[in-house]
Amino acid sequence: MANYRRVEQILVELRPMFASFATFEWFVLLLWGVLLSTQPPAVTSYLNAIGKA
């Protein structure tokens, strides 16, 4: 659980690098998809990992 909190802390620190909040939200979804994916790398795999597809 501490790892998830640390990732969230890092993401909050990265927020100022994005011009819009929507872009930042997509980045967060992609990052969590990459981190949680257990399938071979692909966009659909990332979406499956976060439960959106």
* Residue 34 · residue 22 · CB < 8 Å: no
What pTM does this model have? 0.64
Q: What is the pLDDT of residues 17-50, one digit of tens each?
A: 999 999 999 899 888 877 876 666 666 666 676 7
Q: Token pair of 15, please?
A: 């927020």
* Separation CA 53–CA 45 (nearest Å): 9
Q: Would the pLDDT of 16 be above 90? A: yes
Higher-pLDDT residue of 1 and 17 is 17
